[in-house]
């Protein structure tokens, strides 16, 4: 799962990247025009796995992971983001769009103003124009190919491209449209920017984080609401400093300041969530593990995440909800309460299900 951190130069993308990954990537001077991409794979915080580990004391513990990619905000001024920057964004499964809310004399805004609504509009238009260019090129190729005999697949593609073109020209993201299964299959290879899951990260000051009525915060929230965009606020500079502490020091710091969850943990979880991923769990003395799957995945396909043999020889899934496991103090208590269920192949796995798959490949 690859999540790209994108945005205008000097918005704080690398700072957000560092706080997520606990790496120390160098923050760039916009004038340096660097196009280096930073990457880091991190564990998704999961208190459920922590609890299972405390119960089973397993030999191995495996959390779900995501890869964060810090994409340089190299801009060509009024000409927009560079083609290389857009290409780096396109290969990511989802996007964290970093938008600047903080003001600083030391770090000037590249547009010489702090206006999150304008920044969001600028970035939205960059993505729309980039996708529109791809759609128009495809339409032109289809028109050349269809001068002779028109194949059914070409007619279907042309209708689909015209549908996309109409939406993009109306400044709408393709994620706002509904596509059938065949259309989704045809669109997959294009990796359209406006079709990707998107989380807008408002990079703010400590004061702005504590003041929901701050004018810049209000403007940010309104812009996200108007665009139907998922969003969150984070004081990236402070959170990066917190994330540089050891886990023990971080826990003590958060406790002293009455913070229930670090910004790092919140951001990672929300980034995981915008991909529409959930985790089912397996637990035992050998291993406690979180298995990432798309929401709505059936038990048969979830079994295949562990091993193809389990999918092939699937019989039943023994399932207990994590909350029931905790409430009844373990598997024995949940079983005594009749809360361990036997589910078939078509069961849609729920987030936090603890599953033991029964299978036979003999």
Per-domain residue ranges for the chain? 2-44+64-114+197-274, 125-194, 296-359
The CATH label, of 3.40.50.300, 3.10.310.30, 1.10.357.10, 3.10.20.30, for the domain at 296-359 is: 3.10.20.30
Mean per-residue pLDDT of the chain = 90
Contact in structure between 149 and 33 (CB atoms under 8 Å): no
Evaluate if residue 184 carries a pLDDT over 50.
yes
Contact in structure between 75 and 302 (CB atoms under 8 Å): no
Could you read off the pLDDT of 295-332 as tens digits, one per residue? 999 999 999 999 999 999 999 999 999 999 999 999 99
Evaluate if residue 28 carries a pLDDT over 80.
no
Confidence at residue 306, expressed as pLDDT on a 0 to 100 scale: 96
pTM exceeds 0.85, yes or no: no
Confidence at residue 115, expressed as pLDDT on a 0 to 100 scale: 95
pLDDT band for 31, please (50, 70, 90 cuts): very low
Q: CA 47, 51, 52 angle in degrees (round to 5)?
A: 120
Could you read off the pLDDT of 217-227 as tens digits, one per residue? 999 999 999 98
The percentage of the chain sitting over the pLDDT mark of 70, rounded to a whole number, equals 95
* The residue to which tokens 């001077």 are assigned: 29
From the CB of residue 116, how many other CB atoms can be counted at a distance below 10 Å? 25
**What values do phi and psi take at 293, rounded to 5?**
-140, 160
Distance CA 236, CA 211 (A): 16
From the CB of residue 268, how many other CB atoms can be counted at a distance below 10 Å? 22
Three-class DSSP category at 298: strand
Could you read off the pLDDT of 106-140 as tens digits, one per residue? 888 888 899 999 999 999 998 999 999 999 999 99
The class level of CATH for 2-44+64-114+197-274 reads alpha beta
Evaluate if residue 78 carries a pLDDT over 50.
no
Distance CA 314, CA 91 (A): 34
Contact in structure between 279 and 291 (CB atoms under 8 Å): yes
Evaluate if residue 57 carries a pLDDT over 90.
yes
Confidence at residue 75, expressed as pLDDT on a 0 to 100 scale: 55
| Architecture of the domain delimited by 125-194 | Orthogonal Bundle (1.10)
Evaluate if residue 76 carries a pLDDT over 70.
no
């Amino acid at each position: 799962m690859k999540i790209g951190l994108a945005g205008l130069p000097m918005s704080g993308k690398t700072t957000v990247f560092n706080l997520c990954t606990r790496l120390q990537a160098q923050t760039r001077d916009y004038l340096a025009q660097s196009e280096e991409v930073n990457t880091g794979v991190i564990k998704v915080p999961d208190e459920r796995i922590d609890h299972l580990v405390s119960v089973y004391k397993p030999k191995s513990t495996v959390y779900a992971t995501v890869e964060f990619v810090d994409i340089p905000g190299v801009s060509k001024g009024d000409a927009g983001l560079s083609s290389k920057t857009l290409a780096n964004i396109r290969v990511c499964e989802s996007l964290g769009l970093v938008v600047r809310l903080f003001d600083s004399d030391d770090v000037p805004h590249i547009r010489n103003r702090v206006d999150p609504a304008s920044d969001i509009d600028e970035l939205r238009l960059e993505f729309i124009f980039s996708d529109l260019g791809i759609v128009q090129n495809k339409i032109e190729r289809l028109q050349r190919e269809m001068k002779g005999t028109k194949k059914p697949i070409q007619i279907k593609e042309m209708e689909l491209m015209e549908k996309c073109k109409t939406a993009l020209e109306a400044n709408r993201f393709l994620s706002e449209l509904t596509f059938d299964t065949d259309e989704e299959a045809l669109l997959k290879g294009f990796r359209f920017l406006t079709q990707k899951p998107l989380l807008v990260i408002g990079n703010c000051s400590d004061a702005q984080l504590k003041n929901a009525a701050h004018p810049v915060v209000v403007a940010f929230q309104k812009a996200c609401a108007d665009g139907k965009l998922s969003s969150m606020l984070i004081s990236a500079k402070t959170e990066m400093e917190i994330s540089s502490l050891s886990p023990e020091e971080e826990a003590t710091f958060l406790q002293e300041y009455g913070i229930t969850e670090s910004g790092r943990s919140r951001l990672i979880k929300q980034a995981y969530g915008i991909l529409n991923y959930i985790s089912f769990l397996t637990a035992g003395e050998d291993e406690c593990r979180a298995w990432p799957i798309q929401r709505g995945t059936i038990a048969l396909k979830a079994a295949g995440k562990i091993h193809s043999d389990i999918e092939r020889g699937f019989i039943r899934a023994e399932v207990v909800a994590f909350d029931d496991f905790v409430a009844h103090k373990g598997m024995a208590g949940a079983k005594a309460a009749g809360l361990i269920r036997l589910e078939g192949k078509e069961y849609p796995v729920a987030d936090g299900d603890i599953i033991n798959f029964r299978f036979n490949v003999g």
